[in-house]
């Protein structure tokens, strides 16, 4: 992500749906995509829970509590067993 976004990465809010729902095997990607679409619709960011400490080497804006945001674009990144990966990009109409 750092290679793609550079120093701008620090200003992009990041959250992990998996921290709240666990690993849903075949449903993980769908749950993540639904959460992203809801964030676009509601203009709210969901948190990554159970993060007590973040290594300072990760210069990111980790969403730890639900917050309002002007969300126009969002990316859903899902990885599964056996190297199955999917990235979906969404834009608010």
Rounded Cα gap, residues 60 and 29, in angstroms: 22
Name beta bridge partners: 88: 76
Identify the CATH number of the domain in which residue 32 sits: 3.40.47.10
The full DSSP string for 7-26 is GGGGGSEE--THHHH---GG
Domains in the chain, number: 1
Condensed to tens digits (0 to 9), the pLDDT of residues 71-81 reads 999 999 887 77
Could you tell me the residue range of the domain that residue 20 belongs to? 2-91
Q: Which of residues 38 and 1 earns the better pLDDT score?
A: 38
Rounded Cα gap, residues 93 and 81, in angstroms: 33
Q: Assess whether pLDDT exceeds 80 at residue 82.
A: no
């Amino acid at each position: 992500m750092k290679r793609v976004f550079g120093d701008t990465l620090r200003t992009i809010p990041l959250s992990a749906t998996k921290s709240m729902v666990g690993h849903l095997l075949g449903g993980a990607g769908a749950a993540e995509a639904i959460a992203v679409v809801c964030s676009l619709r509601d203009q709210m960011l969901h948190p990554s829970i159970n993060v007590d400490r973040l290594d300072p080497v990760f210069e990111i804006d980790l969403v730890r509590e639900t917050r309002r945001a002007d969300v126009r674009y969002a990316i859903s990144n899902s990885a599964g067993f056996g190297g199955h990966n999917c990235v979906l990009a969404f834009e608010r109409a």
